[in-house]
Structure 1
Amino acid sequence: MTAPVPMTTAGRRPRLRKGVLHADLCIIGAGSGGLSLAAGAVQMGASVVIIEKHLMGGDCLNTGCVPSKALLAASHAAQSARQAGRFGVDLPEPVVDFARVHAHVQGVIAGIAPHDSVERFEGLGCTVIQAAARFTGPAEVEAGGQRIRARRFVVATGSSPALPPVPGLAETPHLTNETVFQLTELPKHLLVLGGGPIGIEMAQAFRGLGAQVTVIERASILPRDDPEAVAMLRDILIREGIALIEGAQVARIGPGIEVELGDGHIITGTHLLVAAGRKPNMDGLDLALAGVETTPRGITVDARLRSSNKRVFASGDVAGGPQFTHVAGYHAGVLIRNILFGLPARVDYTALPWVTYSDPELAHVGLTESEARLANHPVQVLTQPLSGNDRAQAERTTEGMAKIILGGGGRILGATILAPRAGEMIGLWGLAIQSKMKIGAVAQMMAPYPTMSEISKRAAGSFYTPGLFSARTRRIVGWIQRLLP
């Protein structure tokens, strides 16, 4: 979904001359990054062409962030009913009407879609072409029979689910994030291939709605996150009834949704969801004709997001970097400064946040402990259990933690939070890292009571605990008290 932009007078429109459409900026891909860039650029006075061959809003709106969070919301509602007894409120086992859950998910998409629609962007002053784009040269693109020449091009085509090279997978009916939200009946036993954020979120969502779920992961689940926090989340998932098979090689996938592991063990389900990574969408763009260099990871770009053709930039997943919707939105700001104002703006992922929307949520920003040690920082780790938080006690959600990574002099390098709504709390630490704050700034912050966010202040305050309650401090206080009248 694009960032909200106020409706203003329509921008300067591209001009058609001798059959060729001329624009300041041509954006290929109408996902989150492309639309954020288009909305900003056109209202700042640039003439903009948007080319999209499929759905406006891209993966985030139609098959990613929005439908997944809508499905998780339904799952959380069911789980809340099951767990109400801990508050003395006994409810019957929830009855899940999955057709209505599907309608809820699609209704959320429909409610947001007008914000990303052709009509809205045409109204802003963009020219929208709904067709596949391909480069015909270093400064020209063709789409739907229309030639487009622009001062600058931005490829923002996103990514698609990658299918691992497992024998039999291509021939076996399977789901990806592009098809799983089309289900109108609840799977009886969902096998999830991949234990990354998408796999874990969907596993917990379908389990909460009543499906049997097995996750198969070749390494460990959520390998990018802090192992201590992942271990706590793993225990929660297992208690909820999700079968986690980690360190498993898949030898074959056969008919009837049958997964054979490397040790010969066979797991049979009713549905298979493949969540084993993503690949950049570059097919059919003829990037070589534009002199744009690529790798299997995506378009090769510099810190300004420029490709080997300085007229062509890349944004979001196709740029080969972190694959998050908020990164695509961040890229839009970098590109506006580069393309519209000629400023040498560069990407900086020092304060990059990410969240796995499990229950509880697992959020991180900056360096993990292992990354900080590999970078030879003088690492100090502050931890605070969620069980020490009064709001968590009141809501009976005490499994979680905050883990703060510090460098020399108390400089904040990274943070991990495992807690309900951790994604809402991690922004404080992102701001602290981006602003090069030291831990004292957070420790001195006044946090409202009782809130989950107090865990951040308490973790920061623990930095001073050894010194404040030391024998030296007691001696100093004793001297001062004897001197005071």
Structure 2
Amino acid sequence: MTDSDVMVIGGGTAGLAAATAARRAGLTAVLISDGDPGGDCTFTGCVPSKTLLHAAAFGLPFTNALARVRHTVARVAATEDDDALRRQGIEVVRGRARIVSHRMVSVDDRRMTARRIVLATGARPDVPAVPGLDRVPLLTTETVFELTEAPRSLVVLGGGAVGCELAQAFAQLGVGVTVIEAELPALDPEASAVLAEALADDGVRLRLGTRVQSARMEGEQVLLELDDGGMVRADRLLVATGRRPDTHELGLDAVGIRTDAQGFVAVDRHMSTSVDGIFAAGDVTGLFPHTHGAYAMGRIAVTAGLRRMRRPAFDPGSIPTVVFTDPEIAVVGATEHDLAGTSARVAWLPMTEADRAITAADPRGFVKLLAGPRRLLGHAGGGRVLGATIVAERAGEMIHEPALAMATGMFTGRLAQAVHAYPSWSLAIQQTAAQFVGGHGGRTARPAGPART
């Protein structure tokens, strides 16, 4: 006898997806969480950051923008709190879980059993081992939204997606912002260049290709010494240098659950760990550190165990990622750099030739599609989509067409055949895809290699 069919440890996106998938399959589900359900995405990630970006872009004062953040977080959290989950038939247990065996978990003094266990404990901000940084008051994504007043200056350590998004938002809110990073997040150099220019236009100072050697307080300011000999001072420091898996006291070693060199839980494509009956999903796996990936993994961690044939599997290759700056940067699949020297072809369209961008008075960016030969058919019908990089005001919406093309294996030419509304942002996808099957506006697809315009 067991207490439940599925026991989920962690109340973030992956955990909520797993518990919900279990109930939809007619299974009993228990969700164990040491914090409010919703996790990072709801309280310190996607929901507050995108709200702040929107508020900043519309020119709200800092205090009003943070008030909107808190209101939005509360509204979203109310849809996934303990009561909402219990109405779905999910039992919620508060506390820190520890794995006892492949079917048993302890929470405080209580022991609970389940036929399957899903680890979805997520990840936490990773603070780098910079000399002196442990003696400096710093902000992370878990604390930055607790600010009540705007600092005069802010240095952001880390120029990944989160660092760039928050840097732009704070700059638009009137804060003097400096970003320190080896390189910007976009994998395509052309996309990085557009992003760097956009950040600079908003007043963000970029210190790229350099690292922090030491940190200390000088008066009421943070002083960072860089390896290029420079120094940066600011009222506040935001560390956004990545995340580490949250597996503290979870008991992985005791039951033989394997982890990688960074401590992330190792799983196969069906989200199974090295221990039979225990699965893992979301940021704790390190596979795809984005909410929509965590949601997909959470569902697969439950549903894959219910089938013997055609088991669902997680494939990050056709899942898009988006940097929600202005303009947005969206990427799916391979980049041109990845495919240089292969038989792949690339089509490129600047947004200066996209009528919707012109009507919006924002022609920054481009659409880039990559396609390769199909088995036996070669490049007929444009071949198959291998990747896409889009930089545009609505890139996060536009990326889903090439993502769908990759997920379904459709001919690239189908993107050109589909009639798109005029003048829509996605019309640029059709015009770019047309370059693989005849051309558009004097442009035709070329071999993948060094970027050319």
Q: TM-score, normalised by structure 1?
A: 0.86
How far did residue 350 of structure 1 move? 2.3
Report matched runs for 1:157-172 at 5 Å.
157-172=121-136
Displacement of 1:399 in angstroms is 0.9
1:290 is matched with which residue: 246, 255, 274?
255
Deviation at 1:342, TM superposition (A): 4.7
Q: Tell me if 1:329 matches 2:295.
A: yes
Matched with 1:6 is: none
8 Å Cα contact 2:4-2:30 kept in structure 1: yes
Q: Counterpart of 1:306 in 2: which secondary structure?
A: coil
- Structure 1 SS opposite 2:135: coil
CA contact (8 A) 2:48 2:73 kept: yes
Percent pairwise identity: 38
The one of 346, 369, 384 aligned to 1:411: 384
Q: What residue in structure 2 maps to residue 235 of structure 1?
A: 197
Local SS of the residue matching 1:276: coil
Q: Identify unmatched segments of 5+ residues in structure 2.
A: 374-378, 444-453
Cα deviation 1:306-347 (Å, max 9, x = unaligned)? 111011100001112111111111112322322334553322
Q: How many angstroms apart in 1 are the aligned matches of 2:214 and 2:441? A: 60
Amino acid of the residue matched to residue 347 of structure 1?
Answer: F
Q: CA deviation at 1:59?
A: 0.3
2:137 aligned residue (163, 166, 173): 173
SS at match of 1:61: helix
- Supply the distance in 2 between the matched residues of 1:282 and 1:377 (Cα, whole angstroms): 41
Aligned pairs, number: 430
The aligned counterpart of 1:251 is 213
1:274 to 239, 246, 251: 239
Question: 1:342, 1:250 → 2: CA distance?
Answer: 51
* C-alpha distance in 2 between matches for 1:465 and 1:239: 38
Is this contact kept in 1: 2:56–2:65, CA < 8 A?
Answer: no
Query: For residue 353 of structure 1, what is the aligned residue in structure 2?
Result: 320
Q: Deviations over 1:193-232 (max 9, x none)?
A: 0110000000000001111100000x2111x521111111
The 8 Å contact of residues 138 and 289 in structure 1, kept in 2 or not, is answered as no
Contact in 2 for aligned 1:43/1:124 (Cα 8 Å):
no
Per mean C-alpha deviation after superposition, the further-off stretch among 33-42 and 274-283 is 33-42
Greater C-alpha radius of gyration: 1
Residue 184 (structure 2) aligns with:
221
1:124 deviates by 1.4
Q: Secondary structure at the match of 2:317?
A: coil
- In structure 2, distance between residues paired with 1:391 and 1:338: 42
**Equivalent position SS for 1:462:** helix
Unaligned segments of structure 1, at least 5 residues: 1-16, 79-95, 471-485
C-alpha change, 1:346 and 1:466, in structure 2 (3 Å) is closer
What is residue 384 of structure 1 aligned with on the other side? 349
Question: Which residue does 1:37 correspond to in 2?
Answer: 18
Q: Does 1:435 align with 2:408?
A: yes
SS in 1 for 2:85: helix
* Partner amino acid, structure 1, of 2:424: T
- Equivalent-residue separation in structure 2 for 1:412 and 1:324 (angstroms): 22
Residue 305, structure 1, aligned to residue 271, structure 2: yes
- Whether the 8 Å CA contact 1:138–1:291 is kept in 2: the answer is no
1:40 shift after superposition: 2.2
* 80, 88, 106: which one aligns with 1:116: 80
Distance between the aligned counterparts of 1:320 and 1:100, measured in 2?
Answer: 35
- Aligned partner of 1:43: which letter? R
SS in 1 for 2:399: helix
Aligned to 2:333: 366
One of 63, 83, 90 as aligned partner of 1:99 = 63
Q: Could you tell which deviates more after superposition, 319-328 or 461-470?
A: 461-470
Aligned residues of 2:372 and 2:384 also touching (Cα < 8 A): yes
Q: Which residue of 2 aligns with 1:462?
A: 435
State the one-letter code of the partner of 1:221.
Answer: L
Matches within 5 A, 1:196-215: 196-215=160-179
Picking from 354, 364, 368, the partner of 1:399 is 364
Contact 1:46 1:340 survives alignment (8 Å): no
SS at match of 2:3: strand
Structure 2 CA distance for aligned equivalents of residues 334 and 136 of structure 1: 24
Contact 1:159 1:281 in 2 (8 A): yes
Mean CA deviation greater in 265-274 or 35-44: 35-44
Does the Cα contact within 8 Å between 1:372 and 1:413 map onto a contact in 2?
no
Deviation at 1:263, TM superposition (A): 2.7
What displacement does 1:466 show? 5.4
After superposition, the CA RMSD in angstroms is 1.7
Task: Measure how far apart 1:297 and its partner are.
Answer: 4.1
Following TM superposition, by how much is the alpha carbon of 1:187 offset from its aligned partner in structure 2, in angstroms? 1.6
**Contact 2:21–2:303 (CA under 8 A) maintained in structure 1:** no
State which of 186, 191, 212 in structure 1 corresponds to 2:155: 191
Write the deviation string for residues 84-108 of structure 1: whole angstroms up to 9, x where unpaired: xxxxxxxxxxxx5322211100100
| Counterparts in 2 of 1:206 and 1:469: CA distance versus 1, 3 Å | closer
Q: CA deviation at 1:467?
A: 10
